A = this chain, B = another copy of it.
Amino acid sequence: MCELLGMSANVPTDICFSFSGLIRRGGATGPHKDGWGIAFYEGRSLREFRDPQPSYVSEMARFVRDYPIKSRIVISHIRQANVGGVALENTHPFARELWGRIWCFAHNGQLYTYDDLVSSHFSPVGTTDSERAFCWLLGGIKDQLGSERAGMIDPLAEIIKCHCDRLRERGVFNMLFSDSEHLFVYCSTKLSWITRRSPFGKATLHDEDITVDFEQVTTPNDVVTVIATEPLTRNETWHSMQPGELLVFKDGAVVRRLV
């Protein structure tokens, strides 16, 4: 099992505060000691940091926590290995290019069968069930959606929902996925989210004694959604997702919901 953290925002926003909470769970307050990764979209490209070391002791995690990279879409993951050894190639998030966009993916859960998930377009580099599912999902999108429909959200969301439902039949499949414009969030068992808008308040992390006053670090027009396996803060109300629910975020707001 693993922990997921995602962000969608309408302006480039730093995720340091939420990431501080997540990396504590990587071996300190949680059992997720088998690596961590974070990917920030920046323009059309993706900035990735991944490390098979526990996030709690990783020098690179500290660098990322203290280096305020601003992004509109972030996908992060800390890992407790089940399928696949502790190695960089098995560390989420995974990314591939399709139609000149970078697609990024992280998974929480475990699939009980996955050897038959194959694509002629994308192949896993590592040995996880997760990367195999990602290659199969992205290959399905390429097969079913021509490049000329790449920017159309409705058929894309339907294909993703259909693939995720099939993956959920094989085990636990909570997922964050992005095409560099939208953040797709699929819940199999457990995911929560919160959208912060003006007037912003203060929030205190569950895992560390840190409080942030978002009013000080935002402007009145900012819309920022954070998605996590479990709520990261203790004085805010988070939404729990339903099993089988797909949410599509763009610019910090829900733009589609498929159940």
Whether A48 and B45, one on each chain, are in contact in the complex, defined by CB atoms closer than 8 angstroms, is no
A166 to B157, CA, bound (A): 41
Whether B88 and A100, one on each chain, are in contact in the complex, defined by CB atoms closer than 8 angstroms, is no
State the Cβ distance, A111 to closest chain B Cβ, in Å: 18
Cβ-neighbour of A102 out of B43, B63, B121, B125 (below 8 A)? B125
Whether A89 and B44, one on each chain, are in contact in the complex, defined by CB atoms closer than 8 angstroms, is yes
How would residues 175 to 195 of chain A score, 1 for a CB under 8 Å from any chain B CB and 0 otherwise?
A: 000000000000000000000
Whether B43 and A87, one on each chain, are in contact in the complex, defined by CB atoms closer than 8 angstroms, is yes
A91 to B43, CA, bound (A): 12
Whether A123 and B100, one on each chain, are in contact in the complex, defined by CB atoms closer than 8 angstroms, is yes
Residues in B with CB closer than 8 Å to A98 are: 123
Number of interface residues of A (CB under 8 A): 28
Whether A124 and B96, one on each chain, are in contact in the complex, defined by CB atoms closer than 8 angstroms, is no
B-contacting residues, A59-111, CB 8 Å: 59-60, 63, 67, 87-89, 91, 96-102
| Interface presence of A25 (CB below 8 A) | no
State the Cβ distance, A177 to closest chain B Cβ, in Å: 17
| Interface presence of A47 (CB below 8 A) | yes
| Interface presence of A50 (CB below 8 A) | yes
How would residues 13 to 51 of chain A score, 1 for a CB under 8 Å from any chain B CB and 0 otherwise?
A: 000000000000000000000000000001111011010
Whether B63 and A125, one on each chain, are in contact in the complex, defined by CB atoms closer than 8 angstroms, is no
Whether A47 and B50, one on each chain, are in contact in the complex, defined by CB atoms closer than 8 angstroms, is yes
Whether A125 and B101, one on each chain, are in contact in the complex, defined by CB atoms closer than 8 angstroms, is yes
A99 to B223, CA, bound (A): 40
Cβ-neighbour of A47 out of B45, B47, B88 (below 8 A)? B88
State the Cβ distance, A38 to closest chain B Cβ, in Å: 13
Cβ-neighbour of A97 out of B42, B59, B100, B125 (below 8 A)? B125
| Interface presence of A238 (CB below 8 A) | no
Residues in B with CB closer than 8 Å to A67 are: 59-60
| Interface presence of A122 (CB below 8 A) | yes
A101 to B89, CA, bound (A): 10
Whether A88 and B125, one on each chain, are in contact in the complex, defined by CB atoms closer than 8 angstroms, is no
Residue ID in chain B nearest A66 by CB atoms: B59
Q: A67-B59, A67-B60 are in contact. Are A89 and B45 (CB under 8 A)?
A: yes
State the Cβ distance, A44 to closest chain B Cβ, in Å: 4
Residues of A that sit less than 8 Å from B by CB: 42-45, 47-48, 50, 59-60, 63, 67, 87-89, 91, 96-102, 121-126
Lowest 4 A-B CB distances belong to which pairs? A45-B89, A100-B123, A45-B88, A44-B89
